[in-house]
Amino acid sequence: IKRVFKYIVQYALEQGIIEAKDVFVDHTKNEANANKHKMVWRKHVEKQSGKIDEELDELFRFIDELNEKEEKMFGGKDLPEQERDGFDGEKVRRIVDGINKNMREGVIDREEGCEQRKKVRRVKQLVERKEKYELERQVLGGRNSYSRTDIDAVAMMMKDKLTIRPGYNEGVAVENGIVLNYVISDNCADNMSFIPLMEGVIGNLGKTPENTCADEAYGNEENHSFLKEREINSFLKFSSYHKEKSPSWRGKKIRFRDFTYDEKNDEFTCKNGVKLVLDKEEGNQTKTGYVRKIKMYKA
């Protein structure tokens, strides 16, 4: 399919339908064919997993105490931490048999024995639940949610800005009504899949387009840097474009754009004449691996 798609794009280029000149990019959220009531949330998984760990710590300390009292249990050694995942029905049976023996021989009374058996069986239940949450954590990967009926779909705010549904974020790059490339992402942030989308455009065209246009959702430093490296003219609005058009922003007494920059001395001067000199530089790595260089100035 991808080969056919690329052939159609190049055929349109040969026929003059497109010119590899002005590429327009946009994304839209598409609802997945999945049950909206069967979502797995990272926060819930981490919260419940943490609670299980706390209870298991307490119960395994109790089992260690039983080991100290009964030398024959587990061959006379404590249950190691790493054996939690392998705490199965056989181990529960062996411990319960030891408790029942102590009850028959009068080492412990019936009430204490029943309480000990209850705690041991509770460990098995918790270990099984812990394994379930660990599996969900693996499926989540770097995501914050997924649907049990479509594990590739994640919870996204739909286009109506009201409903949250399991879905996908589809991006398209278009010139003169012809789709040059598309991406389907499980990340609701449009700017995260901009670079893969444009790399596909370049591959399908066999050349770099002249210009790229998109709204402020795409105008981060990483995307601008990518276009600059590929020598593509960027018409991406920066993220604060609409904010800086508002009367409230224009009415602020101090705005960054009102500062004068001295490139030679690497310092800024505000409209009140106060100089801001370079204090320190830091590197901030984004989720995509891009490193943003941040300079901090102080008066």
- 15-39: per-residue pLDDT in tens? 999 999 999 999 999 999 999 999 9
Q: Are residues 82 and 98 in the same domain?
A: yes
In this predicted model, what pLDDT tens digit does every residue of 129-143 receive, in sequence order? 888 999 999 999 989
Q: 183 falls in which pLDDT band (50, 70, 90)?
A: very high
Model pLDDT, residue 67: 66
Checking if the pLDDT of 81 tops 50, the result is no
When divided into structural domains, the chain yields a total of 3
Q: Are residues 54 and 113 in the same domain?
A: yes
Q: What percent of the chain has pLDDT over 90?
A: 45
Q: What are the residues facing 169 on neighbouring strands?
A: 29, 185
Give, rounded to a whole angstrom, the gap between the first and last alpha carbons of the chain. Answer: 59
Model pLDDT, residue 61: 79
255-273 average pLDDT score: 81
Structural domain includes residue 90: yes
> Rounded to whole angstroms, how far apart are CA atoms 193 and 119?
50
Q: What is the overall mean pLDDT for the chain?
A: 83
More confident residue, 103 or 86: 103
Which of 125, 140, 155 is the last residue before a domain boundary? 140
Structural domain includes residue 149: no
> Rounded to whole angstroms, how far apart are CA atoms 276 and 259?
10
Model pLDDT, residue 159: 84
Q: Are residues 120 and 206 in the same domain?
A: no
Q: What percent of the chain has pLDDT over 70?
A: 83
Which amino acid is located at 159 in the chain? K
Q: Are residues 44 and 100 in the same domain?
A: yes
Q: Are residues 241 and 264 in the same domain?
A: no
Checking if the pLDDT of 66 tops 90, the result is no
Q: Which structure tokens are listed for 227?
A: 């276009």
Structural domain harbouring 282: 253-299
Checking if the pLDDT of 263 tops 90, the result is no
Structural domain includes residue 159: no
Checking if the pLDDT of 77 tops 60, the result is no
Q: 107 falls in which pLDDT band (50, 70, 90)?
A: low
Structural domain includes residue 270: yes
Checking if the pLDDT of 264 tops 70, the result is yes
Checking if the pLDDT of 93 tops 80, the result is no
Model pLDDT, residue 92: 65
Model pLDDT, residue 85: 52
Model pLDDT, residue 180: 96
DSSP E strands, 86-224: 145-147, 154-157, 164-175, 178-185, 211-219
In this predicted model, what pLDDT tens digit does every residue of 36-59 receive, in sequence order? 999 999 999 999 999 998 888 888
Model pLDDT, residue 299: 79
Checking if the pLDDT of 78 tops 60, the result is no
pTM, entire model: 0.72
Checking if the pLDDT of 112 tops 60, the result is yes
Structural domain includes residue 16: yes
Model pLDDT, residue 247: 75
Q: Are residues 180 and 200 in the same domain?
A: yes
Model pLDDT, residue 79: 42
Model pLDDT, residue 137: 94
Checking if the pLDDT of 64 tops 60, the result is yes
Q: Are residues 264 and 242 in the same domain?
A: no
Where do we find the tokens 């839209």? 28
Structural domain includes residue 244: yes
Checking if the pLDDT of 82 tops 50, the result is no
